[in-house]
A and B are shown apart, each in its own frame.
Chain A
């Protein structure tokens, strides 16, 4: 029960961090504005970094007996709040509706590739430390 609350709070903080990174990396006020469509770097960064960190706690859990509670708090909680699938999908569709099909494909596939590589690297690191 207490773990659930901590997981939730970690998720809230992860979401906060995502918003702050997004704000720092994106043009304000518009992120995807007609005529200046670009890769949504904020979402990309948090998704890749979050995947790496989640990989790290997963590796530590698998190979170094990290308590499951901490995997839940840092992984499911913090990384789950930090990363987002809904925004990434929305941004992909937006790029496509703006006519930037190639960029949409690059963002979707490139982002996924980087995140998977991040997870693999994270697991390796978590298992090695």
Chain B
């Protein structure tokens, strides 16, 4: 029997074609999530967002018993901008690792407020206007969700593809 060359089959390797999934995963920077650089971004952004909200509240105080339009506008705009920001970052090849802590956690986190929202609603309720209080909370909730969706839809991938990407397992 002639010597037979052992048949070896080299595994065929081809680079899999991958489309970068839209993701809101933090950019791996090697920096700990509580690194001073991130914390500085967050404090600075939070200061700016809070200051803006404070000044707006001072300039246009809501009279007692009225719909808190200023807080509503602030919260809804913040939701929109966060949706837009995170969609932008998710679609970017090299997003800055400081954009989310500074603009998202910082500015928009300081700009928007949950505490003022519910205290205003409670104040309305205590003033006997339970219907207006409930309407304020419901309107803020609906507008917030719609605003986030709108912000995402204006991002690079739009709402449907972003949603599809978020629901697909990136490990597959």
Contact check, A76 vs B57: say whether CB atoms are below 8 A apart: yes
Chain B residue with the shortest CB-CB distance to A91: B148
A103 part of interface (Cβ distance < 8 Å): no
A20-B34, A55-B122, A81-B46 given as contacts; is B113 within 8 A of A4 (CB)?
no
B→A interface (CB under 8 Å): 24-26, 28, 33-34, 38-39, 42-51, 53-55, 57, 75, 78-79, 81-83, 86, 101, 104-106, 108-119, 121-123, 126, 137, 140-141, 144-145, 147-149, 152, 162-163, 166-170
* Interface size of A in residues (CB-CB distance below 8 Å): 59
Closest to A104 in B: B145
- Binding site secondary structure of chain A: helix
Q: Give residues 1-60 of A contacting B (CB, 8 Å).
A: 4, 7-16, 18-20, 23, 28-30, 32-35, 47, 50-51, 53-55, 58
Point out the residues of chain B lying under 8 angstroms from A34, CB to CB.
166-170
**A86 to B25 Cα, complex, angstroms:** 17
Contact residues in B for A13 (Cβ distance below 8 Å): 43, 46
Q: How far is the CA of A55 from the CA of B117 in the complex (A)?
A: 11
How far apart sit A33 and B168, CA to CA, in the bound complex (Å)?
Answer: 10
Are A51 and B149 within 8 A (Cβ)?
no
Asked if A88 meets B53 with Cβ closer than 8 Å, knowing A15-B106, A18-B109, A93-B83, the reply is no
Which of B46, B112, B166, B167 has its CB near the most chain A CB atoms (within 10 A)?
B46
Once A86-B79, A89-B82 are accepted as A-B contacts, the answer to whether A11 and B49 lie under 8 Å apart by CB is yes
Task: For the complex formed, measure the closest distance between the CB of A11 and the CB atoms of chain B, giving whole angstroms.
Answer: 2
**Are A99 and B167 in contact, CB atoms less than 8 angstroms apart?**
yes
Q: Which residues of A contact B (CB under 8 A)?
A: 4, 7-16, 18-20, 23, 28-30, 32-35, 47, 50-51, 53-55, 58, 72, 75-77, 79-90, 92-94, 97-99, 108, 112, 115-116, 118-120, 123
- Residues in chain B near residue A120, CB distance under 8 A: 122
Contacts of A35 in B (CB 8 A): 169
- Structural contact, B169 and A97, CB atoms closer than 8 A: no
Known contacts A19-B39, A34-B168, A89-B147, A47 near B55 by CB under 8 Å: no
> Which residue of the partner chain, among B50, B115, B147, contacts A119 with CB atoms under 8 Å?
B115
Instruction: Give the distance to chain B from A91, nearest Cβ to Cβ, in Å.
Output: 9
Q: Can you sample 16 A-B contacts with CB below 8 Å? A: A8-B54, A11-B110, A12-B46, A15-B109, A32-B24, A47-B115, A72-B54, A75-B115, A75-B116, A80-B116, A85-B140, A88-B144, A89-B144, A90-B86, A119-B118, A123-B119
Interface hub of A15, A72, A97 (most chain B Cβ within 10 A)? A15
Q: Are B115 and A15 in contact (CB under 8 A)?
A: no
